[in-house]
Structure 1
Amino acid sequence: MVAQDEQGVRIGLSAVVIAVRDRTACVLTVSGDDGLTALPFGPFDPVRDRTFERALRDFVTDQTGFRLGFVEQLYTFGDLGRASPRATPGPERRREVSVGYLALTADAVDAPPLDEARWTPLLDIFPWEDRRDGPAACLPALIAALNDWAATDPRRLIRVQTLFATLPPHRWNEGRVLDRYELLYEAGLVAEADRDNDRPVAATLSGLPMASDHRRILATGLGRLRSKLKYRPVLFDLMPATFTLSDLQSAAEAIAGLSLHKQNFRRGVERTGLVQPTGVMSSATGGRPAELFRVIDGDLTGGDTLGLPLPAQR
């Protein structure tokens, strides 16, 4: 599903569309040509399409029935042999360029209209990124395998220790999603590494594999979003018109993969001045009624607008 010109350059577009559904961070996915989970993706036709973004919007709607709101360009992926995170040898070595886009939506209450599209939990794809209840269940086995792979190479060991915070003074950096995925790929611990090297797929602890290099693109998008939480109020793009502070914290935790300190988070939200109470109470949680809040009117993209705090539990 890519365009190709006379020089053998193919141009494709990929969409990372993220939402929070039932307090779970999800990404919009389709079924790839090989039956694997894939991001919505398609061709850019320089003759037919006026802009990359217009083409992206059209094929996402065609493939999923979902209409995109605001999108931002994420990254341009241009490796040789872009079926995998790294250039792969072969007789063609055709250059494929894919432009990735990131979109956030609050309009994901229902399933996508088309049967082949679905909202897939992000942490099913990256299970090692979930630290809300402590290190993920899959992590000890992955760390043991990484240490075996790195045992004879001090540089590899440092990367493992730094990225997975296995020893002090290293601390978990939730924004380095792509670096952790690429380390697991290099160590042969994700299914895509087996597939791309024509080995039987043996990786069983490392989450849901994706078509082509879509898990790499998604890791780039999730890492970008986690980093932006700290300096831009992008979390509100995932929220409905009114929400409780508990809803807001759950959404932040779902995206960051961290358990946040309740009182510190709420104090930080109040200090930003970005939300105001509506005077309406909600009992949707089934417990004590909680007040609904809404985002203040105005432009939240300005240079003086700050992100929300992420005070992790100790």
Structure 2
Amino acid sequence: MDGELRLGLTVVIVAVAGATPRVVEVRSAFELPERFRDAALPPPHRDALPGAPFDAARFRTLQDGVRAVAEGLSGLALRYVEQLYTFGDRHRDPHELFGGPRALAVGYLALVRDAPLAGDGAQWRDLYDHFPWEDWRDERPALLDTVIRPALARWIDAAADAAARARRTERARLAFGLDDAPWDGERVLQRYELLYEAGLVVEAHRDRQLEALAGVPGAAAPRDLPRALGRPMARDGRRVLATALERLRGKLKYRPIVFELLPPTFTLHQLQQVVEALSGTRLHKQNFRRLMLAGGLVEPTGTFESQTGGRPAELHRYARQAILERTSTRADAAGDR
């Protein structure tokens, strides 16, 4: 029905296992309508983020709903949860193309400690399987120069006029750190959106094929399937996931959210691994430890990690109470002025 809206909830559940950032995924149930089953289309992408329609009669708030949905699908007890963004692009859900209502989804980010999943069909996936160009921990990803840069050059050259080529050149330079531009780790969503617009990710090919199949005015199915740049996801899953990773990287600089991913006590090496896993970069060991200890973010417990060989590492904990006390003292001082 024209004008009908369906509100859904989508959640990115992130954990870090050792040095691997992981995200919970479930299986997408989308199937083409029967009359289109014989169309020459690749199989639908099955990797999906946990989500469901929002049940307004059951839940008082959206966050109540997202906790119930995510915990039910994953079997995990969510810890830190925050709202990301409302995703409402036309045709973001393929059901819309074949008569379904316009779909809006409120996206959430949830952080958990790594644990086995109990939900039926849920699985952990390496986050960088979807964005291999974002992981710089070992070296600059080779596909930036062997695949992405040449493909973007062709996209730039195909622009309609000189002004459009100049705009595309600048966008690509800033997003991917080309030529003299530095790499900005927080431009995760901008990079994915640029690849999508340039038709360089499989989702762009899929969406344009579906629009042409559904008879969307002006839609034309692309001829060539692009080389897979990262693992595709159902619907706009990678767009939501890119938004979450960008938010995480930004908050690492000013919020102690990393401790939501760690056990109550941890070594400084474990803490550094988690920060590196999310930022996609290597950190200087001594500088990192000095920053954590001098800044009062962690405190030693006086106990050591039990291990069979090598020098035992001291366990630390997040100095939550000390940080609260410092914050309270500053607030009281400000109130006395």
Instruction: Give the aligned residue type for 2:77.
Output: R
Instruction: Give the distance between the partners of 1:160 and 1:286, measured in 2 at CA.
Output: 48
Asked whether the 8 Å contact 1:142–1:205 carries over to 2, the reply is: no
Tell me which residue corresponds to 1:113.
118
Could you tell me which amino acid in structure 1 is paired with residue 278 of structure 2? I
Q: Distance in 1 between matches of 2:65 and 2:21?
A: 26
- Say which of 102, 111, 114 aligns to 2:109: 102
TM-score normalised by structure 2 residue count: 0.81
**Structure 2 unaligned blocks of 5 or more:** 31-44, 160-164, 210-221, 329-337
* Contact kept? 1:26, 1:120, Cα under 8 Å: yes
Q: Which residue in 2 is equivalent to 1:161?
A: 173
Q: Which residue of 1 aligns with 2:236?
A: 213
Q: 1:284 to 1:159 in 2, by over 3 A?
A: farther
Q: Where do 1:165-204 residues align within 5 Å?
A: 165-168=177-180, 170-198=181-209, 199=222, 202-204=225-227
**Any conservation in 2 of the 1:80–1:94 contact (CA below 8 Å)?**
no
Task: Confirm or deny that 1:131 pairs with 2:143.
Answer: no
Alpha carbons of 1:233 and 1:30: their partners in 2 closer, same or farther (altered >3 Å)?
same
- Secondary structure of the equivalent of 2:315? strand
1:26-54 Cα distance to aligned partner (Å, 9 max, x none): 11111111451111000112223222111
Task: Give the 3 Å change call, closer, same or farther, for CA 39–161 of structure 1 in structure 2.
Answer: same
- Aligned pairs, number: 295
Secondary structure in 1 matching 2:321: coil
1:279 aligns with 2:302: yes
Superposed CA deviations along residues 253-285 of structure 1, whole A, max 9, x for unmatched, are 100000111111111112210111112222549
Counterpart-to-counterpart distance in 1, 2:199 and 2:111: 31
Q: Secondary structure at the match of 2:73?
A: helix
The reply on whether 1:238 has 2:250 as its aligned counterpart is no
C-alpha distance in 2, partners of 1:53/1:79?
22
Partner secondary structure for residue 218 of structure 1: helix
Name the % identity: 45
SS of alignment partner, residue 259 of structure 1: coil
- Higher alpha-carbon deviation: 220-229 or 284-293: 284-293
Change beyond 3 A, Cα 1:64–1:89: closer
The CA RMSD over aligned residues, in Å, is 2.6
Of residues 181-190 and 73-82 in structure 1, the stretch that sits farther from structure 2 once superposed is 73-82
- Which residue number corresponds to residue 263 of structure 1? 286
The runs of 5 or more residues in structure 1 that have no matched partner are 306-314
CA positional deviation for 1:61: 2.3
Report the alpha carbon displacement of residue 90 of structure 1 after superposing the two structures with TM: 5.5
Indicate if the aligned counterparts of 2:267 and 2:315 stay in contact, CA closer than 8 A: yes
Q: Cα distance 1:164–1:89, how it changes in 2: closer, same or farther (>3 A)?
A: same
Q: Superposition pairs for residues 54-69 of structure 1, below 5 Å? A: 54-69=64-79
Counterpart check, 1:8 vs 2:4: yes
Report which stretch shifted further, 15-24 or 44-53: 44-53
2:24 to 23, 28, 32: 28
Distance 1:203 1:275, change over 3 A: same
String of CA shifts for 1:68-97, please: whole Å, max 9, x gaps. Answer: 22311111112222238xxx9968594321
CA contact (8 A) 1:282 1:292 kept: yes
Higher helix share: 2
Describe the shift of the 1:264–1:73 C-alpha distance in structure 2 as closer, same or farther (beyond 3 A): same
CA 1:196 to 1:173, structure 2 compared with 1: closer, same or farther past 3 Å?
same
Structure number with larger C-alpha Rg = 2
Match for residue 152 of structure 2? 146
Secondary structure of 1:298 counterpart: helix
Equivalent position SS for 1:20: strand
1:312 corresponds to: none
Mapped partners of 1:304, 1:53: distance in 2: 27
The answer to whether the 8 Å contact 1:138/1:205 transfers is no
Name the CA distance, whole Å, in 2 between partners of 1:175 and 1:285. 39
Task: Please report how far the alpha carbon of residue 147 of structure 1 lies from its aligned counterpart in structure 2 after TM superposition.
Answer: 1.5
**Cα separation, partners in 2 of 1:246 and 1:207, compared to 1, 3 Å:** same
SS at match of 1:197: helix
Q: Which piece of structure 1 moves more, 223-232 or 128-137?
A: 128-137
Kept in 1: contact 2:185–2:279 (CA 8 A): yes
Call closer, same or farther: CA 1:171–1:277 in 2, change over 3 Å.
same
